[in-house]
Chains A and B, each alone.
Chain A
């Protein structure tokens, strides 16, 4: 671990200078480092303790660390591989490569240490490194970065305050040592500390009420970096939430509220519910495909929070499994969008169409990504959704179950919109010469597709990691036996589902092949109600795809406007102060007269 972190820190500098020779060397350095990290951490035994920079025992490799590090390294490896070709379109390739490596350094550091101050330092390294990459995207990304840093700081400073509060009470910064003593404190103290420490996680995962930065930042960042932002950096927030919920442990710290769920978790579950609602319904409205998936990250962050806050045998495992599902799916989707933008140059859905005939592999990647996010068997997305639903119903939490169902079904709506608008439909005349993305870009996408389907049919490997985490926190581990998954309400077998799916597919294919073949007709041979059309570009339904549904919730309150109004209030106060300190003759005279009057009044 220690060597890995040192290699990463040095690797950032090395990457910077190497990319000056040839810009493609930067991502190659990142790829080599991530693969090295994946190999080392996969084989490292859980529980090993090392020191760093002379601090003893500061790095600890727990089961949670292993799980999250492996997710991070998979995402970063695919990102680095993709960048080898994409970096030719990046604005500042040298800084881009160096800062990506620094982000990996910060993230892995967060996962590897239980010392709260070291965790904070690594957290800020990751935030600052990603902060400088975001403005390298579109024009609007510069304003978006301000949102990012402000909301991230809200979380980080509350975290720091909570840390020092704990230090003043217990005299130590190590989280595992504190967890034993905290149960005896007063309820008010427990609430305060837990909320302060968790707000960092909430701000980073984009949970309501700190979700407003996601749309602009993920939507306007450089295309491949959106994959890292959405697939991996929000998982840092989930890591903090999982760590705190399990270590304190929240399950016994607060009083029971409903069916075995304590009051603090219930508050978190309601934050998750509202995030799902906001994420789903805002995503349905979007016309820009990256902003749409950014809202999907909000909704899935809500799912993860609900799963983690349930803190029981099935629900906690479901939340953790959803972390890896969303990481893989979001990376796949954002990488396929990056390939599309690389070839067409736009992210607006209604300016594209019919790209499936030109970019089939990109389409398949996107398709498997949305099948996983919507939670459809046989991909891995269904396993986590199943676990969360079973847990919610077995506890009788039907209001939360309603939000979970709405999120799941609503996700079909918003993920289908880019599918129908970008890939299917009529091919626009300006896109006639678009080619498939280069082979090197296709390889990481294919790898991610294979992983999603593999872990959907054989989820054992991920379940082993997840149950290790549950055992670390002293919870009852999730029960599974080969490919059969058990819960208190019933069980199912993922291999049987896959076999049945194949059987159905083969029967349908047999009937299809036996019947007379159809004649292939081009895209402009359509039923047009008998009309002759001049311009088939306009015969494409993509603008305001769900207009009838959007009308139903048109006048909704907007949280972004609320934050902007607070900003305007601060600006007005600043203007008020500014009034008194303008550099004009009358202002100088005023202040001089005031000070003289004050002196005279005091003197006499």
Chain B
């Protein structure tokens, strides 16, 4: 079977910028589910993440990479979408673990979602429950490769298909009504 060759439409500056972006990715220090426990070993001395140029960042404004580590309840998903929209372009999303791919061990729960891809554009999935740090580093190098080839364009897909994503979000999660104990 022939692989479909994607046409690389980036300009010269974009190509240089993507080379730079791949070598210095900052991940958002946002730990959603149980997979967050695999991040400290990846960051610290044994499986050093910083030699790839990656490091944790406290606010979404400065981060490029959003790691959805594990299952997402609807409550968390609302806030994940809110935070994702605060990040600056270009931004990449990695789905950790089986829960983001097909629901994992919580596939029949009433309050978690099964397919992350319908709410947020995901660039890369890592299979496993939880994936070990070696798998995580493997995924990061693959993502860097994808960025250099210009294939990691989740942010563009989100902007182009914004209506579709918003519809999915509203159907599953409902409208966000902010309750405040002073205004009840």
Q: Is B82 an interface residue (CB 8 A)?
A: yes
Q: CB < 8 Å: which of A525, A530, A535 contacts B183? A: A535
Contact status B79-A535, CB under 8 Å = no
CA distance A532 to B83 in the complex (A): 10
Contact status A532-B82, CB under 8 Å = yes
Q: Is B180 an interface residue (CB 8 A)?
A: yes
CA distance A533 to B180 in the complex (A): 8
Contact status B182-A535, CB under 8 Å = yes
The count of residues in chain A whose C-beta lies closer than 8 Å to any C-beta of chain B is 8
Instruction: Point out the residues of chain B lying under 8 angstroms from A531, CB to CB.
Output: 79
Contact status B180-A530, CB under 8 Å = no
Instruction: Point out the residues of chain A lying under 8 angstroms from B82, CB to CB.
Output: 530, 532
Kindly identify, within residues 4 to 59 of chain B, every residue whose CB is under 8 Å from any CB belonging to chain A: 30, 59
Contact status B59-A527, CB under 8 Å = yes
Q: Is A534 an interface residue (CB 8 A)?
A: yes
- 1/0 per residue, CB under 8 A from A, across B114-157: the answer is 00000000000000000000000000000000000000000000
Q: CB < 8 Å: which of B79, B86, B180 contacts A525? A: B86
Expressed in whole angstroms, the minimum distance between the Cβ of A531 and any Cβ of chain B is 7
Chain A binding surface SS class: loop
Contact status B61-A527, CB under 8 Å = yes
Contact status B178-A533, CB under 8 Å = yes
- 1/0 per residue, CB under 8 A from B, across A463-474: the answer is 000000000000
Instruction: Point out the residues of chain A lying under 8 angstroms from B79, CB to CB.
Output: 530-532
Contact status B59-A534, CB under 8 Å = no
The count of residues in chain B whose C-beta lies closer than 8 Å to any C-beta of chain A is 16
Instruction: Point out the residues of chain A lying under 8 angstroms from B30, CB to CB.
Output: 530
Q: Is B60 an interface residue (CB 8 A)?
A: yes
Expressed in whole angstroms, the minimum distance between the Cβ of A490 and any Cβ of chain B is 42
Q: A532-B82, A534-B183, A535-B183 are in contact. Are A527 and B176 (CB under 8 A)?
A: no
Instruction: Point out the residues of chain A lying under 8 angstroms from B179, CB to CB.
Output: 534
Contact status A534-B86, CB under 8 Å = no
Closest to B62 in A: A527
CA distance A531 to B180 in the complex (A): 12
CA distance A223 to B153 in the complex (A): 58
Kindly identify, within residues 528 to 564 of chain A, every residue whose CB is under 8 Å from any CB belonging to chain B: 530-535
CA distance A530 to B183 in the complex (A): 20
Q: CB < 8 Å: which of A527, A532, A533, A535 contacts B86? A: A527
- 1/0 per residue, CB under 8 A from A, across B163-184: the answer is 0000000000000101110110
Contact status A534-B83, CB under 8 Å = no
CA distance A243 to B30 in the complex (A): 67
CA distance A417 to B179 in the complex (A): 32
Closest to B78 in A: A532
Q: A525-B86, A527-B86 are in contact. Are A532 and B178 (CB under 8 A)?
A: yes
Instruction: Point out the residues of chain A lying under 8 angstroms from B61, CB to CB.
Output: 527
Contact status B83-A530, CB under 8 Å = yes
Kindly identify, within residues 46 to 98 of chain B, every residue whose CB is under 8 Å from any CB belonging to chain A: 59-61, 78-80, 82-83, 86
Expressed in whole angstroms, the minimum distance between the Cβ of B182 and any Cβ of chain A is 7
Contact status A534-B60, CB under 8 Å = no
Instruction: Point out the residues of chain B lying under 8 angstroms from A535, CB to CB.
Output: 180, 182-183
Expressed in whole angstroms, the minimum distance between the Cβ of A474 and any Cβ of chain B is 62
Expressed in whole angstroms, the minimum distance between the Cβ of B11 and any Cβ of chain A is 13
Closest to A538 in B: B182
Instruction: Point out the residues of chain B lying under 8 angstroms from A530, CB to CB.
Output: 30, 79-80, 82-83
CA distance A530 to B180 in the complex (A): 15
- 1/0 per residue, CB under 8 A from B, across A563-586: the answer is 000000000000000000000000
Expressed in whole angstroms, the minimum distance between the Cβ of A430 and any Cβ of chain B is 16
New A-B pairs, 4, CB < 8 Å, besides A530-B82, A534-B179: A527-B60, A530-B30, A532-B178, A535-B183
Report which B residues bind A (CB closer than 8 A): 30, 59-61, 78-80, 82-83, 86, 176, 178-180, 182-183
6 A-B pairs with least C-beta separation? A534-B180, A530-B79, A534-B178, A532-B178, A527-B59, A530-B83
Between A and B, 25 residue pairs with Cβ closer than 8 Å are A525-B86, A527-B59, A527-B60, A527-B61, A527-B86, A530-B30, A530-B79, A530-B80, A530-B82, A530-B83, A531-B79, A532-B78, A532-B79, A532-B82, A532-B176, A532-B178, A533-B178, A534-B178, A534-B179, A534-B180, A534-B182, A534-B183, A535-B180, A535-B182, A535-B183
